[in-house]
Amino acid sequence: MSREGPIYLDFNATTPAHPRVVEAVRAALVESFGNPNSYHARGTAARNVVEGARERVARAIGARTGEVFFTSGGTEADNWAVLGAARARAAAGRARHVVTSAIEHHAVLAACERLAHEGWEVSRVACGPDGRVDPASLDAALRPDTALCSLMAANNELGTVQPVAEAARLCRGRGVLFHTDAVQAFGKLPVDVGAWGVDLLSLSAHKVYAPKGTGALYVRRGVELAPMMLGGGQERGRRSGTENVPGIAGFGEAAHLVTEGALLDPAVLAALRDRLEEGIVERLPGCVVHGRSAPRTCNTASIGFPGLGGEVLLARLDLEGVQASLGAACASGAMLASHVLAAIGAPPEVATSSVRFSLGRETTAEEVDQAVEVVARVVLDMRRRHGLA
Ligand code: PLP
C-alpha cells in the first residue's frame, strides 16, 4: 500500500476511496450539490449524476438501469430484500417461510429473525466444513409456502464463493424468489444478474473503494417488494429519502472501474493471498486455513491459531503495525464469536483464535512479507507465553 503507516489487511471491512471515486464525490459535493428532486437546473444536474451512476451500477452487474435502487448500504439492501419480499409475497398469498444459510451476514440473518418474531418460519441451511452451502440442501428446505431464499455470493469471513446460479435455478423452478448478498463478491468476481438468474441482489459501495453509507438493491423487473423507507417517494416510489448524491456518484465511478476491469486484478490479489497463507503456514505449523479447498474470493484468508486468543492476537498485531479482523467487522465491535466459523464446524479453540486477513488493490508483496514476519513473531511469542511452543 502506498500510504505510510500500518499494513492494512482489512479490506473486507472497508476500503480507501479510489482517486477517481474521490474526484466524483468531490464534484457531486461541490458542483452538483442540488437536490435531485428540485425543479431547477441545479436539481437536474444532481439528477443526472444519480441517473448516470445508476446506469453504471446496472451495467456492472448486467442489469437494466430501472432495476437498480440506491440504498444506504449493504445492510439496508439486505434488510429490504428479505423483509420487503416476504411482506409483498405474504400480502399476495399464503407465504410464511423463508430459507437462508447459516453463514449469511447479520444483515440477512437479523432480517430473518425479525420475520421469525412475526410468526414466519425460517430454515437456516447448514454449510459444509469447506464453507460452501450445498444447493441440494437449500432445495430440500424449499416448501410450497416459501416466499424467499437468500444465499450470499461470497462469504465475508472466509471468502468462500457460494453456488448462487445453481441455487437460483432451483428456486425459480419452485416459484421461490431468490436473493443474493453480493457485497463481498462485487469487484472481485464477475457478478451478472442474468447469468446467475437472481431476483434480488445487494451491493455496498464501501467494499469497492467508494463511500460508506451507500449501496444498491437490484430488483428484477416485475418483482414486488414492500417499501421499507416511507416518505417523499424517491427511487420511483420504492425507497424514500433524498438521494445520497455524493455517495451515489462515488459508487457509480467505482462500478465503472469494475466494468473497465480497472478496480483491481483478482489474479494478482490471489497470488498475494496465497503468498500470505503459505508464508504463515510455513512459519507456524499447526495453524489452520479455513475454506482453503473451496473456490474463494481472491483477497481473503481466514486463519486459526489454535490455543491463542484471537482478540489478544489481533491487538498485538495492531501494536506491531498489522491491521486485520477477528471475523465480521460489524460483529467484532461486540466481540461476538463468529457464527461462520461455528457453521463450518471449527472447534471453539480454533474459532476463537482465528483472524481474517483481507487484501486490497494497494496491497504489495513487501507488505505481505512484512505481515508474515510480524504474525510469525507475535504468534511464536504468544505460544511461548502459553507454554504451547
Ligand atoms: N453483507 C456482507 C457480506 C458484508 O460483508 C457487509 C459488510 O461487512 C454487509 C452486507 C453490510 O454492508 P454495509 O456495511 O454497507 O451496511
Q: What is the pLDDT along the chain (389 residues), one digit of tens a residue?
A: 445 789 999 999 999 999 999 999 999 999 999 999 999 999 999 999 999 999 999 999 999 999 999 999 999 999 999 999 999 999 988 899 999 999 999 999 999 999 999 999 999 999 999 999 999 999 999 999 999 999 999 999 999 999 999 999 999 999 999 999 999 999 999 999 999 999 999 999 999 999 999 999 999 999 999 999 999 999 999 999 999 999 999 999 999 999 999 999 999 999 999 999 999 999 999 999 999 999 999 999 999 999 999 999 999 999 999 999 996 444 445 445 799 999 999 998 899 999 999 999 999 999 999 999 999 999 999 999 999 87
Atom 5 (ligand 1): residue with closest C-alpha?
156
Contacts of 69 (CB under 8 A, 6+ apart): 216, 217, 218, 219, 235, 236, 238, 239
**d(CA 105, ligand 1 centre) in Å:** 7
Atom 8 (ligand 1): residue with closest C-alpha?
13
Q: Report the predicted TM-score, pTM, of the whole model to 2 decimal places.
A: 0.97
Ligand 1 pocket member 183 (CB < 6 A): yes
Ligand 1 pocket member 75 (CB < 6 A): yes
For residue 328, the model assigns a pLDDT of 43
Ligand 1 pocket member 78 (CB < 6 A): yes
Assess contact for 35 and 350: CB atoms under 8 A. Answer: no
Ligand 1 pocket member 375 (CB < 6 A): no
For residue 327, the model assigns a pLDDT of 60
For residue 333, the model assigns a pLDDT of 52
For residue 318, the model assigns a pLDDT of 98
The question of whether 330 is a catalytic residue gets the answer: yes
Could you tell me the maximum CA-CA distance found in the chain, to the nearest angstrom? 71
Ligand 1 pocket member 310 (CB < 6 A): no
Ligand 1 binding pocket mutation candidate from 109, 151, 183 (most atoms within 8 A of CB): 183
For residue 4, the model assigns a pLDDT of 72
Ligand 1 pocket member 107 (CB < 6 A): yes
Q: Which atom of ligand 1 is nearest to the CA of 329?
A: 8
For residue 16, the model assigns a pLDDT of 98
For residue 94, the model assigns a pLDDT of 80
**What's the distance, Cα to Cα, between the start and end of the chain in Å?**
33
Cell 472447534 sits on residue: 347
Ligand 1 pocket member 181 (CB < 6 A): yes
Atom 9 (ligand 1): residue with closest C-alpha?
74
Look up residue 186 and give its DSSP letter. B
Ligand 1 binding pocket mutation candidate from 133, 207, 296, 356 (most atoms within 8 A of CB): 207
Assess contact for 187 and 208: CB atoms under 8 A. Answer: yes
**d(CA 94, ligand 1 centre) in Å:** 31
For residue 336, the model assigns a pLDDT of 59
Q: Which atom of ligand 1 is nearest to the CA of 107?
A: 10
**d(CA 285, ligand 1 centre) in Å:** 33
Assess contact for 314 and 352: CB atoms under 8 A. Answer: no
Ligand 1 binding pocket mutation candidate from 76, 80, 157, 204 (most atoms within 8 A of CB): 204
CA dihedral 15, 21, 26, 28 (to 10 degrees): -120
Kindly calculate the radius of gyration of the chain based on its CA atoms and give it in whole angstroms: 21
Ligand 1 pocket member 358 (CB < 6 A): no
Ligand 1 binding pocket mutation candidate from 326, 330, 356 (most atoms within 8 A of CB): 330
Cell 467508494 sits on residue: 210
Ligand 1 pocket member 184 (CB < 6 A): yes
